[in-house]
Amino acid sequence: MAQLLQHLINGLAAGTIYALVALGYTMVYGVLKLINFAHGDVMMVGVYMGYATAIGLGRQAQSSLWGVALIFAAAMLGCALLGFFIERFAYRPLREKPRLTALITAIGISFALSYGFQLDLGFKLPLPGGYELSLALPGASPRAFPEIIRPTEWLIIGDRDVVIWNWQVISFLIALGLMLVLQYLVYRTRFGRAMRAVSWDHRVAALMGIPTDRVIALTFMLSSALAAGAGLLYAIKDTSVSPLMGLYVGLKAFVAAVIGGIGNVPGAVVGGLVLGLVEEFVVGYAASTWRDAVAFGFLILVLLVKPGGLFGRVAAEKV
Amino acid sequence: MRRLVPMLLAALAALAAGCEKKTQPAPSGESGAPTATAGQSAGSAAPEGSDTILLGEVGALTGGQATFGISTRNGVELALKEANAAGGVKGKKVAVRVYDDQSKPEEAALAVTRLITQDKVVLILGEVASSSSLAMAEKAQAANVPMITPSSTNPAVTEKGENIFRVCFIDPFQGFVMAKFAHDNLKMNKVAVLQDNKSAYSIGLADVFTRKFTEMGGKITGTESYSQGDTDYRAQLTAIKKTQPDGIYVPGYYSEVGVIARQARELGLKVPLMGGDGWDSEKLYELGSSAIEGSYFSNHYSPDNPDPRVQKFIADYKAAYGGVPDALAALGYDAARVAVEALKRAPDTSSASLREAIAQTKDFPGVAGTVSLDEKRNAVKSAVVLKVADGKATYVTTISP
């Protein structure tokens, strides 16, 4: 029983992060019908932005409340900017080209980021006042993410049968908060309504006076910021960060988005949670070797029974 | 604006080219080596009159095992620098061309093919990871070019053929060392195993450990697995925790082991972790922090060894690269020196005479133990067991074959 509870906690922790990343896939797919394979790598860049901010703040400041807020803000804003540039210079010029072109471009950006970040490059900029700004790519080897939430045990059941840490609860709350903000943005604001209209049919939306380019750019920024937030939670949870982390998490989150029905916002959340829990229970109660096989097998099963995913709708293709 | 993207790509390509150049040591001389190979018309023997002998090296300079590849490269560079300073081989300089395999076996195989067909190297050094060395050995054996792996411990590597050698011990021995140490020194009875299913090295060590430990009367409470690149091991560790072992054998690589240690402690698993030489990296202490303290691993060498030869190597390495050399740097150094010795002894640089010369290596005084190659082209030598304490590995004991 205690073991079940511990697995449930582990699975939820992994699942909320998949869900946050999956939301980014789903939103971009919703407005552009593009599977943005660079999404996971944008998340990785966000993690390193957070890492750099945390190191810049120093040991004391990084774990204070405003320090954590600053780390999140820097990573999310930085990634929003990155998302903007990727959309503007890589995807927008290809918007009227066949969809495959944009897809291949996305894969290209993904590799450029994940392998580019392994290069050993850096430079220093002298700033007025004797300060120096040093910018460098992180290099290939994994790094330990600083403990920006000092780990404390909040709940221990039995003889350490179940342990819950403060950062697990805090991460869960942050993830929940981000999802609620997103829910509000998509369903309660003018921008959200515009976004949903574009996802319905972007040509008609443009005819109705919706600035589709701006809506798409904003969607990219939003999904990238969300990825950065998810990435930081991931880094807090698993402590090791490396330039290749985005490929792996990105793939899993993509599966989660498809399970939930890609293009569907609540679907991505449910898909992420389901995937996290399925993986955890497979490893915990069956053989760990089976984790990926079962995760992808589950994806195939869902698609066989409901081709549009759990929450997706299958649109009949009009010829 | 649309022109910006191709420009950016061109800039990236230029950067990549710049980086590749950097991996080659100064003595090879970017223009000197290719002309040497261009002048060579037939056979694998180096042309008369050329003033360099070119070796090839494949290593993980990027990717998950990057510190392995970089350490090994430094060790090789240091050995060749010394050899060249002492007059080189037969009046020629020895140079090495290094290619990065991004920690991927398939890239390692490509790199070997490139070294053999384009650069026409006489001998190949590398890799650290057994999975990559296996892929390389296949190609080197087929092309009949001798290859020395500094630190791949999986037995299958040298079984690929008579051209493949190693200067380190093999997995069965490492698994045996830890089983013996856990049973005799730590008095453990129940041990759980957590292995990396993507790595031939990890599976090899885990198998032997399981067999030997059971033979000694111990009990394996459970075997769990993960895949390289994972960062969440809580499910496996929760399952292991239920079996209440005295210790956990985790024969993986440092990049994962550090995180595994943290999550084990987080879940309340306090027993020591044990592993092999894959742990050996400064990064282990950064990633594992206080969680990895009190764990043990088997290794090829210890920098605490007072032998003047070892201490001189450490001092030279520190002067050149900063930082204490890890075992992989020591083995890279030994492998390059065994190669240079063989080049000196061989009458010419044809692969047949080189292979013969390497096979005759006996009682060679390496910094990571004395190297004698047996008839299966493996080095027979003892292993050390190290304990992690105060953020570094300290020598515990030596276990002999």
Q: Please, which residues have CB within 8 angstroms of residue B106's CB and are 6 or more apart in sequence? A: B135
How close does chain A come to B195, measured CA to CA in Å?
A: 10
Of B242, B259, B267, the CB nearest to A163: B267
Sign of CA dihedral B38, B42, B44, B48: negative
| Residue-averaged pLDDT of chain A | 88
For chain B, the domains span 4-169+309-382, 171-299
Distance from CA of B136 to the nearest CA of A (A): 22
| Strand A143-144 to B219-226 pairing | unpaired
Nearest CA to CA, how far is B266 from chain A (Å)?
A: 8
Which has the closest alpha carbon to A197: A44, A31, A28, A9? A31
- What are residue A240's DSSP bridge partners? A144
Q: Measuring CA to CA, how many Å separate B186 from each of B171, B205, B271, B272, B308?
A: 21, 19, 11, 10, 31
Q: The CATH number of B4-169+309-382 is which of 3.90.580.10, 3.40.50.2300, 3.40.1390.10, 3.10.20.90?
A: 3.40.50.2300
Cis check for the bond before A132: say yes or no (omega within 30 of 0). Answer: no
For the cut 60, the answer to whether the pLDDT of residue B8 exceeds it is no
Residue pLDDT, tens place only, A133-173: 777 888 877 888 998 888 888 877 777 778 888 888 888 89
Nearest CA in chain B to A142: B255
Are B262 and B282 in contact, with CB atoms under 8 Å apart? no
Which of the following CATH numbers is that of domain B171-299: 3.40.630.30, 3.30.565.10, 3.40.50.2300, 3.30.1330.10? 3.40.50.2300
| Position A56, amino acid | G
Residues of B in contact with A242 (CB under 8 A): 64, 255
Q: Going by C-beta distance under 8 Å and a sequence separation of 6 or more, which residues neighbour residue A5?
A: A157, A162
Measured from the Cβ of residue A131, the count of other Cβ atoms closer than 10 Å reads 8
CA distance A232 to A235: 5
CATH fold for domain A2-118+138-305: ABC transporter involved in vitamin B12 uptake, BtuC (1.10.3470)
Enumerate the β-bridge partners of residue B52: B93
- E strands along chain A, which residues? 122-126, 132-136, 143-144, 153-157, 162-165, 240-241
Residue B198 contacts A, CB cutoff 8 Å: no
A283–chain B Cβ distance below 8 A for any pair: yes
Q: Which residue of B has its CA nearest to A292?
A: B227
Indicate if the pLDDT at residue B15 is higher than 60.
no
pLDDT beyond 60 at A92? yes
pLDDT at A314: 65
Decide if B4-169+309-382 and B171-299 have a common fold.
yes
Residue spans per domain, chain A: 2-118+138-305
Residue B290 with chain A: CB contacts under 8 Å:
none
Q: How many CA atoms lie within 13 A of A281 on its CB side?
A: 14
Written in H, E and C, the secondary structure of A236-305 is HHHCEECCCHHHHHHHHHHHHHHHHCCCCHHHHHHHHHHHHHHHHHHHHHCCHHHHHHHHHHHHHHHHHH
Q: Which residue among B16, B67, B225 sits closest to A289, beta carbon to beta carbon?
A: B225
Cβ contacts of A10 on chain B, cutoff 8 Å: 232, 234-235, 238
Residue of A11, A89, A160 with shortest CB distance to B268: A160
Choose, out of A239, A251, A278, the residue to mutate when testing the contact with B (most B CBs < 10 Å). A239
Instruction: Inform me whether the pLDDT recorded for B45 exceeds 50.
Output: no
How far is A315 from chain B, CA to nearest CA, in Å?
A: 34
Contact A266/A313 with Cβ under 8 angstroms?
Answer: no
**B238 and A245 in contact by Cβ < 8 A?**
no
Sequence-ordered alpha helix ranges (H) in B216-253: 234-242
Whether the Cβ atoms of residue B94 and residue B32 lie closer than 8 Å to each other: no
Residue of B114 and B25 predicted with greater confidence: B114
Amino acid present at B45 = A
A26-44 burial: b if 16+ Cβ within 10 Å, else e: bbbbbbbebbbbbbbbbbb
Chain A positions in Cβ-Cβ contact with residue B242 (cut-off 8 Å): 3
Under the banding of pLDDT at 50, 70 and 90, the label for residue A16 is: very high
- Cβ of A118 within 8 Å of Cβ of B62? The answer is yes
B164: which strand partners?
B147
Contacts of B46 (CB under 8 A, 6+ apart): B36, B40, B53, B54, B92, B122, B349
Mean pLDDT for the stretch of residues A240-266? 90
Lowest mean pLDDT among A88-97, A117-126, B53-62: A117-126
Model confidence pLDDT, tens digit, residues B287-327: 988 899 999 999 988 888 788 888 999 999 999 998 889 88
pLDDT at residue B41 in the model: 33
